[in-house]
Amino acid sequence: MRLSDFLTISKPKIGIMVAVTAALGYFLASGTFAPIDRFVVTLLGTFLTGAGASALNAYLEREVDQKMERTKHRASAQGTLSPTAIILYGTFATVAGSVLLASYVNLLTGFLALLTAFLYVLVYTPLKRITWLNTSVGAIPGALPPLGGWAAATGTLELPAWILFAILFLWQHPHFYAIAWMYRDDYRRGGFQMLPVIDIDGRRTFRQVLFFSSLLIPVSLLPFTLGVVGSVYLYGALLSGGAFLAASVFFVVSQTTKEARNLLFASLVYLPFLLLLVIADSQFAFAG
């Protein structure tokens, strides 16, 4: 039992992306990262809750992970962590993160973090073996962190927060379809009903990728329409959304793993870039 074992089941890459989206919600709501202590606690609590949920997910899928190349090295699959240890760690991290948010930020933020963990572990995880719609269902908890960030900054949930939710909901579809396409043989061995697994010719997968990538562009412009952000964000969102859509088109046309990987990369760049756009836009407005 090593610290690195707990790290593998915490899925830190996912945790970092979750923290980025929470930071996006926080900054868009307040125009600043102040007070810095509340912002740091928001990221810490969000990351901790996400790590706990990921660990509980690893526990539930430990036997399936043994069959898949991309997951067989996890401590949960290799047995270097006992099921009891994983459950205890996952439960502690989830509860601790939620309590931290509820106690030091506000109750709404803590509730949203706990709701995210609940939906991810107890709804999305079992659905992966039942229906290809698991991606859309899983996109709901995946889109909640920016709501948590907004709630942390304001204590409420206003319309722009729900627009962030919509952006994250749409973004996840091409992101996860790219992953599922790259590892569709792996998912098939694991018995997961991902769309690229059951969609043999890929037509439905490609339609879904293009639909959500296209819809993401106008939805991402809604913060500008509402006057929450300015022209820096507008042009940047158009540019990044267009690049994301182009990556989707290249993937659909080529139908190759290489272009699926490029689409995945584009999706990973997209969200941090949006955060930078919001920050740059606020600084430009302040300077003006």
- Looking at the fold, whether 169 and 45 belong to one and the same domain comes out as no
- Looking at the fold, whether 127 and 179 belong to one and the same domain comes out as no
**Position 187, amino acid:** Y
Q: Spell out the residues 6+ positions from residue 79 whose beta carbon is closer than 8 angstroms to its own.
A: none
Instruction: Give the whole-angstrom CA distance, residue 227 versus residue 65.
Output: 46
- Looking at the fold, whether 142 and 240 belong to one and the same domain comes out as no
Residue 105 phi/psi, 5-degree rounding, is -115, -80
Q: Spell out the residues 6+ positions from residue 16 whose beta carbon is closer than 8 angstroms to its own.
A: 47
pLDDT recorded at residue 286: 46
- Looking at the fold, whether 269 and 232 belong to one and the same domain comes out as yes
The number of domains in the chain is: 2
Q: Where are the alpha helices (DSSP H) in 31-158?
A: 36-60, 62-65, 75-78, 83-104, 107-118, 125-127, 134-142, 145-154
Instruction: Give the whole-angstrom CA distance, residue 271 versus residue 146.
Output: 11
- Looking at the fold, whether 144 and 239 belong to one and the same domain comes out as no
Boundary-marking domain end, from 112, 133, 157: 157
- Looking at the fold, whether 58 and 176 belong to one and the same domain comes out as no
Instruction: Give the whole-angstrom CA distance, residue 269 versus residue 183.
Output: 20
Residue 56 is encoded by which pair of tokens? 């509980």
**DSSP symbol at 33:** -
Instruction: Give the whole-angstrom CA distance, residue 66 versus residue 258.
Output: 25
**DSSP symbol at 158:** -
- Looking at the fold, whether 4 and 147 belong to one and the same domain comes out as yes
- Looking at the fold, whether 121 and 170 belong to one and the same domain comes out as no
Residue 181 belongs to domain spanning? 159-288
Boundary-marking domain end, from 120, 137, 157: 157
Instruction: Give the whole-angstrom CA distance, residue 3 versus residue 178.
Output: 31
pLDDT recorded at residue 79: 86
- Looking at the fold, whether 215 and 150 belong to one and the same domain comes out as no
For each successive 10 residues of the chain (288 residues), what is the average pLDDT? 84 91 92 92 97 96 89 86 94 98 98 98 96 97 97 96 96 97 93 94 96 98 92 95 98 96 96 89 61
Boundary-marking domain end, from 102, 136, 157: 157
pLDDT recorded at residue 244: 98
- Looking at the fold, whether 146 and 272 belong to one and the same domain comes out as no
